[in-house]
Amino acid sequence: MQPNVISLVSIGRHPQSGRARRSEQDGRALELGLKLSGSHLQVAHAGAYDSTFSGSAEETVLRQYAGMGLKQMTVLKQSSDADVIPSLSHYLESQSAQVVLLGVRAESGESSGMVPYLLAESLGWPIVSRVADIVSIENGEAEVLLALPRGQRRSVTVTLPFIATVDNAAPEPRQTAYGPGQRAQFNAVDTPEVLDELRINWVEAPAKPRPKRLKVIKAKTAAERFKAATAKAQGGSGKVMKNESAQEKAQAIFDLLIEEKVIR
């Protein structure tokens, strides 16, 4: 039996240009959805859909998702300052979804990563986060690989229906093709709209650079302060070993590997 898979996508943000784009993780969620259920995959986006939609950056991005091979896509009509949870959970329930895939964190807005958890809570479904792959879905259970740092993986099973957030370690989204993207249909759906009250009081500003924390030495004496001030800063130009013996050179490399904890 084909599981009923729904991928949710949002408008991403290019880290360099700040322009709207297909989000990295949502693209992967869509890719994973296509792997699981091919052309049966349903894709939804909650967002603005009004007279300004046509030709907007949002439309361009949604068509980029569609260009991965979708014939159609659902748009749950929401204004930009709405809380999307009621709308999404209403939609997921009405579609009797079994597997819901989304990115770990949105690339724009609050990027809190709370949406999947709130959906899971409101639907009473289990949630697994940072999925690298869904290996199989059988007997009401999915075998899932979770991504851990540095290529490690954890295998878990989770009962259907469930929500999964897709990690950057999941397979890359396929290329989006212009033609199919342009031809895809949007099904706009009216859903309950709830204003996000809390956010209104927030102040947003461009991110301030965070100073990298220096290794602080609490100097208690003048000599120590002097030493701290003159200690060679980390980084800078590297150390070059030329005339030492091969053994010494190898030792230096080894020490660095130990210090960096890549050899244990």
Partner 1 sequence: MIFDWLPSVLIAIVLMLAVVGAVRRISLWRAGQPSPVNIISGLMAMPKRYLHDLHHVVERDKYMSRTHVATGGGFVLAMFLVLCVHLFGVDSKLLAWALLASLVMMFTGAIFVFKRRRNPPSRLSKGPWMRLPKSLMTFAVTFFVLTLPAAGILPDGTGNVLLTLVLSALILVSLGEMLFGMTWGGPMKHAFAGALHLAFHRRQERFGGGRSTGLKPADLGVEVHGVSKPTDFKWNQLLGFDACVQCGRCEAMCPAFAAGQPLNPKKLIQDMVVGLAGGTDANYAGSHYPDPQGKGREPGSAKGSPTEVITAGLVDAETLWSCTTCRACVEECPMMIEHVDAIVDMRRFLTMEKGETPNKGAEVLDNIIATDNPNGYAPGSRTNWAADQNLNVMRDVKKAEVLFWVSDGAFDMRSQRILRSFVKLLKAANVDVAILGDEERDSGDVARRLGDDATFQNLAKRNLQTLSQYEFKTIVTTDPHAFHCLRNEYGDFGSDALDNVEVLHHTTYLNRLVQDGKLKLDTFKGGTVTYHDPCYLGRYNGEYEAPRELLRSMGIEVAEMERSGFRSRCCGGGGGAPITDIPGEKRIADMRVEDAKETQADLIAVGCQQCTAMLEGVVEPRPEIRDIAEILVDQLIEEVH
Partner 2 sequence: MSDIIRRDPRTEWIARNRLHPLYESVINANAGEVRGPTGLLRKNPHKVGFIGPNGIKRIDRLKGNGQGAGAVGRGKSSANEPVLALHQIEAPDFYIMVAPDLVGGRLTSHDKDVLGLAHKLCRTYEADERDQGRSSQGAVVAVCFGEMKEESLDLAGVDRLIHLQNDVFEGFAPEARLEAVAQIEQMYQPKHWLFPDSIHGGADLGSRLSARLGERPAVQAWQVDTQNTVCRGASSSIDITRATPRILLLLEECGDAIDETRHEAKALDVDAVEVSAVNIVDHGLMDVDPNAIPLAEAEFILSAGNGIHNWEQFHDAAKALGATEGASRVAVDDGFMPRFRQVGATGTWVTARVYVAVGISGAIQHMQGIGQCDKVVAINTDSGCDMVKRAALSVIGDSEEILEELVKIVNAHKGQVSPEGETLEKGSEHAA
Say which entry of partner 1, partner 2, none residue 68 contacts (CB below 5 to 8 A, set by partner kind): partner 1
Decide: is 194 part of the binding site for partner 1 (CB under 8 A). Answer: no
Preceding peptide of 161 cis, ω within 30°: yes
x/- site string to partner 2, residues 224 to 243, per CB under 8 A?
x--xx--x---x-xxxxxx-
Say which entry of partner 1, partner 2, none residue 179 contacts (CB below 5 to 8 A, set by partner kind): partner 1
Say which entry of partner 2, partner 1, none residue 40 contacts (CB below 5 to 8 A, set by partner kind): none
x/- site string to partner 2, residues 100 to 139, per CB under 8 A?
-----x-xxxxxxxx--xx-xx----xxxxx---------
Cβ count within 10 A of residue 97: 24
On the 0-12 / 13-18 / 19+ scale of CB atoms within 10 A, 235 is exposed
DSSP of 130-165, one letter per residue?
EEEEEEEEETTEEEEEEE-GGG-EEEEEEESSEEEE
Decide: is 68 part of the binding site for partner 1 (CB under 8 A). Answer: yes
Decide: is 220 part of the binding site for partner 2 (CB under 8 A). Answer: yes
Residues 121-160 that bind partner 1 (CB under 8 A): none
- Binding residue for partner 2 (CB under 8 A) from 205, 222, 225, 226? 205
Closest among 44, 46, 91 to 70, alpha carbons compared: 44
Say which entry of partner 2, partner 1, none residue 178 contacts (CB below 5 to 8 A, set by partner kind): partner 1
List alpha helices for 39-83, DSSP H.
Answer: 57-66
6 close to 44: Cβ distance less than 8 angstroms: yes
Residues 84-123 that bind partner 1 (CB under 8 A): none
72 close to 185: Cβ distance less than 8 angstroms: yes
Q: d(Cα 113, Cα 105) in Å, to the nearest integer?
A: 4
- Binding residue for partner 1 (CB under 8 A) from 174, 186, 189, 193? 174
Per DSSP bridges, beta strands 194-195 and 141-147 are unpaired
Residues that bind partner 1 (CB under 8 A): 14, 16-17, 19, 21-22, 67-69, 174-180, 182
